[in-house]
Structure 1
Amino acid sequence: MKKINPFKPHSPVPTAMFAGRLGEVDTFETALFQTKSSNPSNLLITGERGIGKSSLLTLFKPLANGEIKSPDYEKFNFITLNSIISNGTSLVTFIKLIQRNLKRELDKEETFRKIMGSTWDFVQRIKVMDSGIEKPVQTSDPDLVIDDFSYSLAETCNRICDSDKGDKAKDGIVIFIDEADNACEDLQIGYLLKATTELLQQNGCSKVMFVVAGLNEVIEKLSKSHESSLRIFTQIKVKELRPEDRHYVVDRGIEEGNRLNEEQTTVSVDAKNHISTLSEGYPHFIQQFAYSAFEANTDGEISSDDVLSGAFNPGGAIDAIGSRYYAAQYHEQIKSDEYREVLSIMAESLNSWIKKSEIRDKFTGKDQTLTDALQALTNRKIILRNPSKIGEYRLQQRGFALWIKMFGERKK
């Protein structure tokens, strides 16, 4: 009988399987409490791809809106809005998304259905401008658009937080912005957020909180758009899960599988250790290796052999992770076979530091080509330069090295 696989490698980690991150959760709850108390606190969540930033947001939202009670505070009651940034998201599009999502949330409660009123009429004027029917120069001025947006957001927030509404009153508004590293130059994300937070305060609103998440490059994009925009944030740097937390994730997944399936499944300690090591503590990778091991198992007990078979076979975990996380770096971002040769040489050392001289001994190209390759790969953040020793480099993840060794040449 085919069993339902409880692990979910293609989406943020379910709240029920969440493990670790106690420090990050504490920082978020503190920020919520401060914002509720009219001392707005904004968060910037950064980390590598697959490290669990989106999963954190998945947990943070129900904490903010009261679906999950905080262990250290009374239940929060914020309006929560989600926005995902693409490389085509303009200032106007971003504001329309916030307005649309805010209206949807307020429409869920009779008390707030008409609260937005005429304060958001400026969005309709932007629509007219975009349609080509009318293009008044002053409407397209980003400063005027941000000013209108901040005023409307402040008015709406103040109304839903009005204490006269009794137990219906909200704690404030939390705006989650995911994949902010995709922000294009036209969005001016740093300037937008810096200006908006200042204008909210000027309009008498102190209960709006921004939570921005993205790859580490988002820091550069924020500061490039406005050099002091980083000052409005408390930064959360998401790191790998500890081994005990990795085991917990696997155990919770097995528990969920046994709840869903009549035929029960167990997992050996050695199997969990293998999943822990192979995943390197990346939550999405834990889900993928556990998912593939669950699929490989046929006798009801997931063993080390199941983990290794599910990991290394074509179409298995490493192949799947590589397709989602590594293939673009290896094939699309690199147009030179000589640069790929450098990665293949480095992959022999997995993700340990390797000296440039050691790479040169195996490299078939010219010395200048090697120098150019290392510089380009470092600039594109495909490899890392050792900040403590000159002339040493490594791949970011062991999984990337394994994928290069096993599947890197397959496209050719």
Structure 2
Amino acid sequence: MEALLNEWLWQEEYWLPAGMHWQDIRMKEDEGRFPLPRDLIYTLPLAFAFIALRYVFERLIAIPLSKCLGVKDRIRIRAASIPKLETFYKQNSRQPSQSEVVSLGKQCGLSQRKIQTWFRHRRNQDRPSNTKKFCEASWRFVFYLVAFTGGLGSLINTPWFWDDSECWRGYPKQPVAEAHHWYYILEMGFYVSLLLCVSVDVKRKDFKEQVIHHIATIFLIGFSYCANFVRVGTLVMLVHDSSDFLLESAKMLHYAGWTRTCDSLFVIFALVFLVTRLVVLPGRVLYSTLVVSLEFFGPFPGYYFFNTLLLVLQALHIFWAYLILRMVCKFVFLGKVERDERSDEESEVDDEEEEEEPEEGDECSWEQRKGAINSKLASLANNCVLNNLTNQRNINSRLPKAR
């Protein structure tokens, strides 16, 4: 297997510029660490460690914090246990058509209205609570904040943080600092954990785009580490982390009902996102990888693959920037952020959940409600008559004094 990988996967012309060989980039112990593919093996157990840590964090920290901030969950009616409807709900559709409603009604001996009500309650029952969404946002907020702080601290004194050409000077024989090595390993492990948990996390409208983003990010981090694009890769990760923790903090405040603070923080996030993802990333990082790098070496397959992944991420940034600008327009013209354009796909509760109308064939229920309404109307009428009589007596008693 190792010989096969060396023959097909680790060919020098794929990973190194023309004229370079693996022995040319070997480093001695005193020269520093050179990134090796086997280092990425640690990301898989690290991903499972992140998942376990997240489980502990959500229960010991996130849930108590949500209660302190006033996060409230909507009380939802649980659907009755009806095996035939449950089977149809899981295997066929969550929103049956009219003909399917008629067929299910005949099978279960229920009216169409009851079938529709059952499916509405069942859909609402599966929708994530605000507490669950708060816990997810708080976990990502903590990681992105720590990653951005640590990444900025490790990069601010490096020459390539200020000068793009330093990312490629001496490439590919560039030693990697221990801090940048772990920056890479932790970031990749975290995104692997997000990809493993994507099926159980809150499903959003941009679910497919999020999956593509996670996969592209994992490939980008892994490939850039193996090809020793570490210097420019650290800049890419820092740019992403700079706005991500702002977004997650805005979500936390939104679920807690802190509307004004959330809206203000969202505006700050929008500005940071648009500047970093649409100006800094393409203007500095993409320009450096596409143009500046060619001043030091000629294009090779690794160069094209790395830039392709960066362009995929940039396309996703443009898509999300469009959604954010829509929200900013709503904020400017309506005075508030009415709805998250990336909101949870299954988070909106059906409008009719709390208001149950009478069944078409349920005459007893209708008669009872009609009797209750008539009695309330009669009581209201009596009160109105009594008030009029009282007012009339008061007026009559005052007339002699006025005379």
Structure richer in strand, relative to its length? 1
Q: Relative contact order: is structure 1 or structure 2 higher (C-alpha 8 Å, sep ≥ 6)? A: 2
Name the TM tier (shorter chain): under 0.3
TM superposition score normalised by structure 1? 0.20
Higher radius of gyration, 1 or 2: 2
Structure richer in helix, relative to its length? 2
